[in-house]
Structure 1
């Protein structure tokens, strides 16, 4: 196959690996540009309770190797008492732990993970879109 890839064109030919890589990288680069632009506009000092809860959970995982939480909201303590079960799912904590290990338990760590996931979503959209036939009727239905 040489320098040819298996990305099909409308005329039945194949794109070169370079063209295929550019097609994949274009949405990723766009996603990274959007993330960089929004960072300038974002309020860096504002955090919602969930963001803090997930960061504390990731810090606990990195430092203590446990998913047990020690972060409670006052409202929850008054309503449920102490201790009570955390209702936050551990998936995001597990994903956030490597970023917290590298950057510390900061909003910067959470933002870095979210930018990576945002750019990865662009790749997933590309992969799904490759499986959709490029017929006019399907494109109109998708629009």
Structure 2
């Protein structure tokens, strides 16, 4: 895990991370670099570090730990909707494949795979969470 942001003092819960792991298919040999992020508060601000820094810290985590041949998948509750600089900056470097509807659209799925590799995308509903579960299937 890399720390990529911190909540502002007016809504402070702590630092915010990007948890990552690399998964390799045993027979195909293809690798997915998976990142989960829970964005800083207050919603839409980028927290203490701001929108731009939070986006770049996430991208730095990917650039530091992923191999060039990895398929990158970035998911999470960004605490930022599609209009924010955080989401726009990430979207300049990764394809935004899906955005949920909870809390004005703060949950996102990005990937280095483009639209042509999306098999399905679905909103699975809350299932006990205050956010909807989002599902995107990619052909890698």
What TM-score, normalized to structure 1? 0.22
What TM-score, normalized to structure 2? 0.23
- Larger Rg belongs to: 1
Higher relative contact order (CA 8 A, sep 6+): 1
Whichever structure has more strand as a proportion of its residues is: 2
